Structure formats: C-alpha cells, structure tokens
Amino acid sequence: MLKSILSPKTCAACKNCCVFRPESAWEMPTFSKAAIDRLPEGYPIQPDGDRYRIMLSYGAEDAARPCPFLDSQTGCTLPPEEKPFACGIWPIRVMPDSDGKPALTLYQGCDGLPDADAPALHALLDSGLRLRILKAAEQDPTLIVPYHPNYRYL
C-alpha cells in the first residue's frame, strides 16, 4: 500500500482489501516465478500468463477468505521485498480507459482514502510513480484489471 496517502493503522484495523469473496478470488495479487520459488512449499498456485496466483479454497460456509499472508492481528506478513507489486501500490489500480489503454485509478470504497484530486496524491504520481506503474503493467498484464465503478480514474 502507498503509506504516504493511506494510513497503515486504518488498514491494519480493517483488512477488508486482503479478504476475497469467491467471485473476486481472481483479484488475488500475482507473483513472479522467482517470488513463488522463494515461498515455503504448500501453497496451491495457478499460472496466469507468466505470473502465478495463489488459489484460495472456500468451504461451503465461506462468504470470503483472507489472503494466506494476512495475519488477523498484524496485517500482511510478507516482507516488503516479497510483497506483490499490486499490493505495494494499493489503493491505486490499473484499468483500461475508454480507448482501452491502461490508466491509473483510485479505489473509492472506504473513508480512509484520499480524494482523487488530493494534491499529495498527484505529487506522488508526478514524482515518477505513474510512469513506474504503467511500465510495470506493460511487463505484467495481470496488473490490468477490468473497470469497476468503485474506482475513479486519476
């Protein structure tokens, strides 16, 4: 997550964005092969292009399941260098614009987020983050997800 615009304390208390319903399990972040090889064995993984996604297993009673790296008390247990890029840039995601080109969007689904017009957010994007994210999306198409109305284009 981008700590300069989103409070780690707020997210650690909420954790909602690291919990996935069965219909949104495809939103689990993906890992490179090298990152998967560094994980302990035993995680069920499925390839997605050149990337790998950990599969969540749902019981009949499960409305949602947490990411296996989420600790209910402390939040994400992955060290920063192993955290998927998509998690590192949260609450920003990449979605197609009206011409189908990758564009940055900001999650709007909770009160802890900055306004899409916030100067601090745009200063961060203009400091090189926008280009870095778009370059990463060129190399990893799993970062580009379908448009959802809970997001606003930046």
Alpha-carbon distance of 103 to 100, in angstroms, equals 9
Among 36, 45, 64, 87, binds ligand SF4 (CB under 6 A): 87
Q: Which of 35, 64, 70, 144 binds ligand SF4 (CB under 6 A)?
A: 70
Under the criterion CB under 6 A, does residue 56 sit at the interface with ligand SF4? no
From residue 104 to residue 143, the character string flagging contacts with ligand SF4 as x (rule: CB under 6 A) and all else as - is -----xx-x-------------------------------
Member of 2, 15, 45, 147 binding ligand SF4 (CB under 6 A): 15
Please tell me whether residue 154 binds ligand SF4 under the rule CB under 6 A: no
Q: How far is the CB of 123 from ligand SF4 (least distance, A)?
A: 20
CB atoms within 10 A of CB 51: 20
Cis peptide bond prior to 91, omega within 30° of 0: yes
140: its two tokens: 């990893």
Give me the sheet containing 45-48, strands edge to edge: 30-31, 51-54, 45-48
* Token pair belonging to 88: 């590192």
- DSSP result, 76-125: E-S-GGGS-HHHHTTTEEEEE-TTS-EEEEEE-SSTTSPPTT-HHHHHHI
Would you say 29 or 103 has its CB closer to ligand SF4?
29
Q: Which residues bind ligand SF4 (CB under 6 A)?
A: 10-11, 14-18, 29, 67, 69-70, 76, 78, 83-84, 87, 91, 109-110, 112
